Structure 1
Amino acid sequence: MTGFIKFFFTLFLVLGIAGCSGTGTTKTSEINTLIKNADGNTAIVARSTGFAGSAPRIFVLLDGKQVASLGNNEVGDFKASPGKHTLELKFEGISLGLETNKLTYVNDPSKTQFFVITLRQNFLGAKLTISEVSPSSFAGSVR
């Protein structure tokens, strides 16, 4: 019986830890390569939610379709056609008292666009926000 309990505890622990990581990267060299190789139809997004919002993955939706899954402090990228788009965020799992915003932006095919996800806490809950930022602000948020 003890072996059975240890097995399920280990399985639960492994699945719990694996559930915290997304499809993005936290490696500086990979982030630099991502930025360097991005073309005008690329958007790069960084998750900078701090310790309070670090456990669940965040899904980034472009026009209602998932384009990235980010764990804590991860950076990911996605392609977008030129024109107007809506970015939306969803937490994986239960997110009681959490608000999210939608961001409408116009994709400019002549430049790479940068976004940062932040979490602002208040007394009754928290608000997950995505904002478009300059390349230098983006670099400061991922270092």
Structure 2
Amino acid sequence: MLSCITLLTLLSTVVSALTLTAPTESNGWTQSGDQIITWTPDSSDPDTIVAKIVIPLVNIRQPQILSNNVNTSVGSYIWNQPDPSEYTGGGVGYAQSTVLEPGDGYEVILISHNGTLLAASNFTVSTGTSSVSATAQASYAFIPIK
């Protein structure tokens, strides 16, 4: 679990002009359906970024990658969230770490491929279904670490 000191350290290293606009504390996600992350891009931002989510589970607070190849200039990314009913546990179906349950403590993190934090936002997941419709699936590309 990230401590307040760790989180403050991470937030103090933000060097991007990219501004995360959703989800936010006042504009969260719903439990079901596709979800959208939006930001205001800036010309100083990298061409592509990594979108991650932190799902507050009892013993796990490891960020999960939603996509490691998000086009920054587009200003949004739609995550095709797995249906909670498709989680069957025991390593079959979707991992529990990618299923949203109503509650607080969620976080979206946008980072560069070299690990620089660009933006982060805490948010709440409420019951209901999103009306966002994804037109593309998550994209993964091999990016060597230097």
Fold in common (TM above 0.5): no
* Bigger CA radius of gyration: 1
Q: Which structure has more RCO (C-alpha within 8 Å, separation ≥ 6)? A: 2
TM-score, length of structure 1 as denominator length: 0.38
